[in-house]
Amino acid sequence: MPVLSAKPREIPGAELMNMHAQPQRTPAETALIDAFGERLSLLPGDGAVMLKRDDAIEAIKHGLPTRRVESWHYTDLRRLLTSVPAFDPAAATKAIAPVIEGSAVLPLLDGVSTAKLPDIEGVTVQRLSEKLTDGSVAPGLDPYGADDAIGALNTAFVADGYFVDIADGAELDRPLELQNLQSAGQTHVRLLTRVGDGAKATIVERQTGEGAALVSSVSQLVLGEGAEVTWLIVQEQPDTATHLAQFKAHLGKNSKLTLFVMNAGGKLVRQEIVVRTTGEGADFKLRGINLLAGDTHTDVTMVLDHAVPHTTSTEVIRNVVTGKARGVFQGRINVHQYAQKTNAKMACNTLLLSDDGEFSTKPELEIFADDVVCGHGATVTEIDHDHLFYLMARGIDEKSARGLLVKAFVAEVIEELDDEAIVDALEARLDDWFLTHG
């Protein structure tokens, strides 16, 4: 039986999450708070974990963030999250083929880890439910700020996930795919990964399913000295699902992280990326593709902290907006006062293909060091008429020509990944999307 704190404690800054909270709770807020009461006895965790859960639900009781909270300016969660499905004990889904052939798969089926843990050389895998029960992951459960609604939601409800430890110097011979699959109800998972010094790995985070579920997923990655990781997030939720995800990483000395994010589904999607360089010489690359269709809302928000000197980063985001889709990209680069010699560049390009679609972008630079080179660029435009003309003059019909140009626009980002197996696999996902939304 979990230990509960006697009375709700004051959470510093929690009131900031929604400073203009209306006394009236929305149906979604009520559903979440009620669900917590019902689930509480089923949630794993020792006293420390349960205290974190209490704090987290208190933050949600203060209200979900509205557009008045700066980091949620374009995604008014309070308004957009209209309903929350109840937990569905009958939900049952099956593992699927991995994105890259031959990958080792770690499935989470409707929020539950697999019965048998795979045996991969150099990799230790543990169930998160066990780590919650023994309390060893409690310190990492804190939301990263007063406006971290996803972190709070996940901390309150997280029941399972994986803890993956890649040993120092290990070089994985095949990719590791973490599958988070859902069919109905609610799923709250957390994926913790530590990559040891000098280790190399390719990890796929697969987020998909088939039902109108509410999914919260938090991935935490720590890179040791000289570690090199390619992390691919492939999000293909059905267009009835709400997907609230967070990717947090700490980059050690001389480590390299290439993060690729593909959003190609979901009704309401928020993917947060929170990265901090903690060792000199660290390099971070973000490549993102957002393929938006239907009446959906997709938000990618990145906060990148250059906290030490001599670190580099580049971010390239490409967006394609069709139908009535609304897209958001917020990217903030913070360069701390002592982070001299930082080199950071960010670009966000958007193709707006329909008059009913919209895209909002907010690329921010916050710079406190003087000896840095930082820049960002952002464009929003339609297909270049000259390009279209060029292709059509060669006998290609307009629809195909448009298709080619749009595909080329996003494929450019994939090709940069420079690994044939990955590029082929991702282009196959891309083709899939174009087939259904072309």
Question: Which candidate, 126, 227, 120, 221, places its Cα nearest to that of 174?
Answer: 120
User: Which part of the chain contacts other proteins (CB under 8 A), choosing from 102-110, 136-144, 213-221, 370-378?
Assistant: 370-378
Closer residue to other proteins (CB): 93 or 322: 322
- Return the residues of window 41-100 that contact other proteins according to CB under 8 A: 70, 73
* Other CB atoms within 10 Å distance of the CB of residue 199: 25
Question: Which of 194, 239, 235 is CA-nearest to residue 213?
Answer: 239
The identity of residue 433, as a single letter, is W
Of residues 110, 358, 406, 414, which one binds other proteins by CB under 8 A?
358
Q: What residues have CB less than 8 Å from 245, skipping those under 6 apart?
A: 150, 207, 215, 216, 217, 218, 219, 233, 235, 269, 270, 271, 272
Q: Is 360 in the site for other proteins (CB under 8 A)?
A: yes
415 sits near other proteins (criterion: CB under 8 A) = no
HSE-CB of 181 using CA atoms within 13 angstroms = 19
In this chain, which of 362, 407, 429, 437 binds other proteins, going by CB under 8 A? Answer: 362
**Cα–Cα separations (whole angstroms), residue 335 to 89, 148, 301, 344:** 46, 21, 17, 9
The region of 120-128, 265-273, 360-368, 416-424 touching other proteins under the rule CB under 8 A is: 360-368
- Note whether 405 binds other proteins by CB under 8 A: no
**Which of 48, 112, 167, 369 contacts other proteins by CB under 8 A?**
369
Q: With CB under 8 A as the rule, give the number of residues binding other proteins.
A: 35
Among 355, 386, 418, 420, binds other proteins (CB under 8 A): 355
Residues 245 to 274 in contact with other proteins, rule: CB under 8 A: none
* Residue closer to other proteins, measured from CB, 382 or 415: 382
Give the number of residues written for the chain: 438
State in angstroms the smallest separation of the CB of 347 from other proteins.
Answer: 9
Q: Which of residues 374-393 bind other proteins (CB under 8 A)?
A: 374-382
List the beta bridge partners of residue 155: none
Cβ proximity to other proteins, 119 vs 371, nearer residue? 371
Cα Rg of the chain (Å, integer): 21
Binding mask 315-354 for other proteins (x = CB under 8 A): ----------------------x--x---------x-xxx
Q: In this complex, which beta carbon is closest to other proteins, that of residue 132 or of residue 344?
A: 344
Q: Is 367 in the site for other proteins (CB under 8 A)?
A: yes
The answer to whether the beta carbons of residues 234 and 266 sit under 8 Å apart is no
Answer yes or no whether residue 372 interacts with other proteins by CB under 8 A: yes
- Using CB under 8 A as the binding rule, whether residue 420 contacts other proteins is answered as no
Taking the C-alpha atoms of residue 270 and residue 376, their distance in angstroms, rounded to an integer, is: 22
Q: How far is the CB of 9 from other proteins (least distance, A)?
A: 26
Name the one range near other proteins by CB under 8 A: 1-9, 79-87, 356-364, 423-431. Answer: 356-364
Q: Closer CB to other proteins, residue 84 or residue 352? A: 352
Reduced to 3 states (helix: H, G, I; strand: E, B; else coil), residue 257 is: strand
| Min separation Cβ 71 and other proteins, Å | 11
Per CB under 8 A, the list member of 87, 359, 409, 433 interacting with other proteins is: 359
- For residue 127 the two structure tokens come to 């169930």
How do beta strands 358-367 and 112-113 pair?
Answer: unpaired
Query: 369 or 421, CB closer to other proteins?
Result: 369
Report the relative pairing of strands 358-367 and 160-166 from DSSP bridges.
unpaired
In the bound complex, what is the minimum distance in angstroms from residue 387's beta carbon to other proteins?
A: 14
DSSP-based three-state secondary structure for 49: helix
- Strands 123-127, 160-166: parallel, antiparallel or unpaired by DSSP? antiparallel
Between residues 200 and 437, which has the closer beta carbon with respect to other proteins?
A: 437
Q: How far apart are CA 120 and CA 308, in angstroms?
A: 34
Burial code (b: 16+ CB inside 10 Å, e: under 16) for 408-427 equals ebbbebbeebeeebbeebbe
Q: Cα–Cα distance between 158 and 154 in angstroms, integer?
A: 5
Q: Of 195 and 303, which CB lies nearer to other proteins in the complex structure? A: 303
Residues of the shown chain interacting with other proteins in the complex, contacts defined by CB under 8 A? 70, 73, 337, 340, 350, 352-355, 357-382
